[in-house]
Amino acid sequence: MQVYLDYAASTPLKKEVLDEMLPYMTQTFGNASSIHAFGRNMHKGLDQSRRNLAKLIGASYDEFYFTGGGTESDNWALKGIAESYSDKGKHIIISEFEHPAVLNAAKALEKKGYEVTYIKPDSQGHIKPEDVKKAIKKDTILVSIMFVNNEIGTIQDVKTIGSICRENDVIFHTDAVQAFGYLDIDVKEMNIDMMSLSAHKIYGPIGIGGLYIRKGIKIKPIIDGGAQERKRRAGTSNVSGAVGFSKAASIRYDDLENITFELKKKRDYLYEGLKDLDIRLNGSENRHPGSLNILFNHVKGDTLLMNLDLAGIAVSSGSACSSGSVNPSHVLLSIGLSTQEAKASLRMTVGDSTSYEELDYVIEKMTEIITRLR
């Protein structure tokens, strides 16, 4: 049996999504910027997708920009704002457990003379809004705190953090790559100024994402070229990707309560099945519905991962972007785990198509492997 429990790394494309995308690659193909009928058709698909995605997050149509994915959105948010507001200040606040897309964009800015404050999450994996408040200085231009952590799934109080930023006239960006399609999001109500999204975490295509930019915010492009995306993000529009992204998002938000209920049920079933194996949950109850990060006492995570792989079970140690590295997860270290504990932890994420039969197999195999390894 082959079991995929790594839906936080990426999800399979849904058939309904592919069906919606295909005509834009085979029938109404062309360049959305062309003025002929082919181009206009493509532009219409792009337009409708933008409208739909903007509506789903409570934004207006002209506040939603397509990008090449979550990584690009995060880089654009940080680097674009840093460049545009450098006359106001050069201080940026992020959290210690951001995705590498934010973390390394901030590091690149440090090299250019910006100052970055890294907020530490508590042991449950939550950023305290008052810590953000304390870190804001006169020259702070941007706060970037992720909505849902990609390794432990914990949900951050973005609404309060956003309101603190508003009161202090600081731009608030959130990386919502793991939140979109799993939680209700309203950017206006949640005081979010900028938000990064990605399609492949919600059963859409890889290589397309979005950045919500509140009207009135100045931001320099990081990709120069043509006049696409209101002259802010150059490059021939990925229309089939946008259409797929939009369809994938609609599928989720049309039935969000049910989808998240089923995910939670499966995730908790797996946890219950493993509970007696001397394990500890990393993170808290307030987390992504499909996410489970577990510390397996007295086992090496990478050995466990490899043994699971041999049994056909795909899980992850840390995020997909940093797996393969021998370093312990920066997320788990940030919430206070020791190096050894971090290395003995695994992330398992269930998805829409995970079956109980698969979970029973995982529980059986894990019990067998862990008992043997110990």
Ligand X SMILES: Cc1ncc(COP(=O)(O)O)c(C=O)c1O
Contact residues toward ligand X (CB under 6 A) are 69-71, 74, 99, 101, 146, 150, 175, 177-178, 198, 200, 209, 319-321
| Residue 165 a catalytic site member | no
Decide whether 18 or 321 has the Cβ nearer to ligand X.
321
Element of type H or E holding 65: strand 64-67
Shortest distance (Å) from residue 52 CB to ligand X? 19
**Cα gap 110→132, rounded to integer Å:** 19
Distance of CA 44 to the CA centre of its chain: 28
**Cα gap 339→371, rounded to integer Å:** 22
DSSP 105-164: HHHHHHHTT-EEEEEPP-TTS---HHHHHHH--TTEEEEE--SB-TTT-BBP-HHHHHHH
Decide whether 6 or 341 has the Cβ nearer to ligand X.
6
Shortest distance (Å) from residue 164 CB to ligand X? 21
Q: In what order do the strands lie in the sheet containing 209-213?
A: 64-67, 209-213, 194-198, 171-175, 140-144, 91-95, 115-119
Decide whether 156 or 228 has the Cβ nearer to ligand X.
156
Considering the candidates 321, 322, 340, 367, report the single residue annotated as catalytic. 321
Shortest distance (Å) from residue 155 CB to ligand X? 12
Decide whether 9 or 342 has the Cβ nearer to ligand X.
9
Shortest distance (Å) from residue 100 CB to ligand X? 8
**Cα gap 162→179, rounded to integer Å:** 16
Decide whether 22 or 320 has the Cβ nearer to ligand X.
320
Cα–Cα–Cα angle for 316, 322, 323, nearest 5°? 35
Decide whether 204 or 328 has the Cβ nearer to ligand X.
204
**Cα gap 49→39, rounded to integer Å:** 15
Shortest distance (Å) from residue 10 CB to ligand X? 7
Please report where in the chains the tokens 């936080």 appear, as a residue. 8
Half-sphere exposure of residue 294, counting CA atoms within 13 Å on the CB side? 24
**From the CA atom positions of the chain, what is the Rg in Å?**
21
Whose CB is nearest to ligand X?
A: 70
Of 350, 336, 353, 263, the residue nearest 8 (C-alpha): 350
Are 201 and 181 spatial neighbours (Cβ–Cβ below 8 Å)? Answer: yes
**Which residues does the annotation mark as catalytic?**
321
